Amino acid sequence: MNVANLQLEGLMMAVAAINNALVHHGVLSIDAIDDALRRAEASVTADERVYEDMSPAHREAICFPLRLLQLANLSQDGTGVPPFAELARQVGRTKDAPADPA
C-alpha cells in the first residue's frame, strides 16, 4: 500500500477522533458536524472543474474522506468511532447513492 494512503487514513481517523471529542465535550453537536461535512461535499461536487475535468473515479476519491468522516460522526458513541476499515466499507457500499442536498 502507498505510504501516502496510510498517512491519509491516519489523518482521517484523527479528524474523526477530534470530531468525537468536540461532540462529547459539548462544543459541537453531531448534527452540526454532519451539516458542515454535507456542505463541504456539496461545495466540492458543485465545482465545475470536478465534473468537467475528472473521471467518476476521481470524483469519488475527492468525496471519500468527507463521506468517511460523515459516517464516523454519525456512528460515534461514548467509546469513540468505528475502525477505518469498517467505515471505508460503508462508504464503498453507499458511494453510488446520491448525497442529500444541503
Mean model confidence pLDDT for the chain: 89
73 domain residue, yes or no: yes
5 domain residue, yes or no: no
40 domain residue, yes or no: yes
State mean pLDDT over 69-91: 93
Whether 69 shows a pLDDT value over 60: the answer reads yes
Which of left, alpha, beta for 79 (phi over 0: left; psi -120 to 50: alpha)?
alpha
Calpha distance 63→42 (Å, rounded): 9
* Residue 70 neighbours by CB distance under 10 Å: 25
Whether 97 shows a pLDDT value over 80: the answer reads no
Domain that includes residue 79, residue range: 16-94
pTM for the whole thing? Answer: 0.84
48 domain residue, yes or no: yes
11 domain residue, yes or no: no
Domain tally for the chain?
1
102 domain residue, yes or no: no
Q: Are 102 and 42 in contact (CB under 8 A)?
A: yes
8 domain residue, yes or no: no
